[in-house]
Structure 1
Amino acid sequence: MLSIGEFSKICKVSTKTLRYYDEIGLIHPDQIHPENGYRYYSITQLEKMLLIQRLKAYHFSLDEIKEILAWEEDQAEEHLHVRLHRKKREIEEHIQAYVSTLEQIHRDIGRLEQGMPVMSFVDHIQVELVETRPRNVLFIRQKLSADDYAAGYGTYFAKLYERIATETLTLQGTPMTIYHSPEYDPAGNDTEFAIPVAEAVKGTRNFPGGLCARSVLKGAYPELTAVYARLRSWVEEEGYALTGAPYEVYVTDPIKTGDAGDLVTEVYFPVKKK
């Protein structure tokens, strides 16, 4: 048996943390001395503690780790395999976000070194008036929180593509997202995922055409906020009024586009002259 101090030293986790893990039911001492309350751990518990530390390093929460440890032994490996793949995707998304942030910082440093304001790029975002045509779209409309967006895009577009394949529908364009909420709410926003198709079947609707202010972003999605700000300013400056929900058209597929800098997104604001 190992004292709590020895167990702590081997696993490089404080005795305070071990006591907390005991309180929340993550890992209990194998024995507690009835007279003095000393805690002892078995040699076999070292491997369990190492697994806990490894899963923590993978950014699993303590609640998630507790759930993993509670799985039946004959199912544990299979479930863990699924959860590790999911966590791997999450970490890859975070890494890509950091890469995009570093690239943005690099550009801002370059502007400052050239004596330009950091936000000067907004004024150089190009805006044009275009007349769009009506489209028939297969759609899913959901209320998504800020945390749901990244996963939601893949989930709902995948469902739409699956139905297109199953029903052999004819693609007429690239995916779109329409933002119906009148204001941003971190708790949930009215979001429509749509893909243009030829056939008018259940689950499709007419997406009207008309006059739009359009801007094209070549770069990572976080930069879309600046595009929206520029478009809204342009609409006001040029004497137009908004007539509908803004929407995005994804010219490139993020799954097939390795470099976020190569992503191409069109942003549309339906407008009319005041």
Structure 2
Amino acid sequence: MSNDLLPIGRFARLCRLSVKQLRHYDDLGLLAPAWVDPSSGYRYYRPEQARDALMIGMLRELDVPLPAVARVLAGQGAAALRDARDRLEADVARRRRALRLLDRVLADGLPETVVSVVEEPARRVRVASEAATPASIAAATGACVARLLAAAEGPPSLVGLFPLDMADEFEVRVALESPSGEDVLPGGPFAQALHTGPYEEIALTVHGVLAWFGDRAHAPAGPVREVYLNDPGSTPPERLETRVLIRLEDVR
């Protein structure tokens, strides 16, 4: 063992990390000790490793995920940090939308949702899909819409398709009604409500429709359909209208 090696406790204090953190980073392959005592398993570090350890600690304080930290240590710093920044920015935008929604609920309470049962015909469509997370759902939906509009024939009729249960990762789909479409949106009985207002507040209307299902012990079937009735480019957000549809699985 070299005399310039530092035991893990002293190295941890030097780098403002805990011994537990250093062990975890070793297990992940982020920061391996310079030497491990084969008889005791005790870890030792070189002083020059402190720079990497401090970098890891700083990036973790900034909520940079560990895979991105590994890329920084591997010399891919600029690209990894840009990706981490984009994720944080998307998360901040999502939280701001949530705050606006919460402010509305605090001011007005949950909206009264008028729900009716309609029979929807089957529709032939073209479908675009994107992987999404709760933080990126708006961007993923926008990307799907852009692809479909580029190939639209005449005035577009767009339907957003979203899972009933949104996990950490899920698929967003948008359908464009088209006689030449290769996919079919199935018809049948649907619970329907009209949402008026910004797209970011549609969750309130979806909640109202699902509450209607619960009150009547009906079984909902996904995906949630959002039929966009206005052009967001020329309609103020507060006047946008969207049909929210959820299929009644146990009604024929």
TM-score using structure 1 length: 0.58
The CA deviation at 1:205 is 4.4
Q: What is the CA RMSD across the aligned residues, in angstroms?
A: 5.2
In structure 2, do the counterparts of structure 1 residues 192 and 96 end up closer, same or farther at CA, with 3 Å as the change threshold? closer
Letter in 1 for 2:243: E
Q: Which residue of 2 aligns with 1:115?
A: none
Identity %: 18
Deviations, residues 32-80 of structure 1 (Å, cap 9, x unaligned): 678995723233x233223312332343443x15642574x4xx24xx5
Contact 1:11 1:50 survives alignment (8 Å): yes
Alignment of 1:75-224 (within 5 A): 76-77=76-77, 80-81=78-79, 83-110=80-107, 121-122=110-111, 124-127=112-115, 136-140=124-128, 148=133, 151=136, 154-155=139-140, 158=143, 161-162=146-147, 165=150, 168-170=151-153, 172-173=155-156, 175-178=158-161, 192-197=173-178, 200=180, 203-205=182-184, 213-219=192-198, 220=200, 221-224=202-205
TM-score using structure 2 length: 0.62
Please, which of 42, 46, 65 is the counterpart of residue 47 of structure 2? 42
In structure 2, do the counterparts of structure 1 residues 19 and 132 end up closer, same or farther at CA, with 3 Å as the change threshold? closer
Deviations, residues 140-163 of structure 1 (Å, cap 9, x unaligned): 579x8xx75665774476356436
Query: What SS class does the counterpart of residue 137 from structure 1 fall into?
Result: strand
Q: Which residue of 2 aligns with 1:266?
A: 243
Letter in 1 for 2:175: A
Query: What SS class does the counterpart of residue 51 from structure 1 fall into?
Result: helix
Residues 1:29 and 2:33 are matched in the alignment = yes
Query: What SS class does the counterpart of residue 200 from structure 1 fall into?
Result: coil
Q: Show structure 1 runs of 5+ residues with no match.
A: 112-117, 237-241
Contact 2:12 2:18 survives alignment (8 Å): yes
The CA deviation at 1:133 is 8.5
Contact 2:5 2:45 survives alignment (8 Å): yes
Q: How many residues align?
A: 240
In structure 2, do the counterparts of structure 1 residues 27 and 178 end up closer, same or farther at CA, with 3 Å as the change threshold? closer
Contact 1:30 1:42 survives alignment (8 Å): no
Contact 1:157 1:175 survives alignment (8 Å): no
Residues 1:51 and 2:55 are matched in the alignment = yes
In structure 2, do the counterparts of structure 1 residues 268 and 16 end up closer, same or farther at CA, with 3 Å as the change threshold? closer
The CA deviation at 1:14 is 1.9
